[in-house]
Amino acid sequence: MKPGIHPDYHPVVFQDSSTGDAFLTRSTITSERTIEWEDGNTYPLIQVDVSSASHPFWTGTRRVMDTAGQVEKFHRRYGQRAGRGGNN
């Protein structure tokens, strides 16, 4: 690696603004805000809108799509189009 061309890679705390959960990781992002972490050290603090603590996919609160119901609704609305150039 060439010296002097890579950004500073340092520990940073990311905090979910909706749940308050925080985690320490490494990043090149910088911030004027700081937080004292569990180990007693002070790290830059980055507020994020969504993390694994609040995202519906990871929390299990995601909406289950009823694909079978959607297909039936489509067929009721538009019907079976037989003989129109397809493999019907």
Q: Is 47 helix (H, G, I), strand (E, B) or coil?
A: strand
Radius of gyration of the chain (CA): 25
Q: Is 7 helix (H, G, I), strand (E, B) or coil?
A: coil
Residue burial 29-67, b: 16+ Cβ < 10 Å; e: rest? eeeeeebeeeeeeebbbbeeeebebbeeeeeeeeeeeee
Q: Where does the pLDDT of residue 71 fall: very low under 50, low under 70, confident under 90, or very high at 90 and above? A: confident
Q: Where does the pLDDT of residue 83 fall: very low under 50, low under 70, confident under 90, or very high at 90 and above? A: low
pTM summary value: 0.60
Give the tens place of pLDDT for each residue, 35-53.
999 999 999 999 988 887 7
Q: What tokens were used for 6? A: 């890579």
Q: What is the pLDDT of residue 3?
A: 85
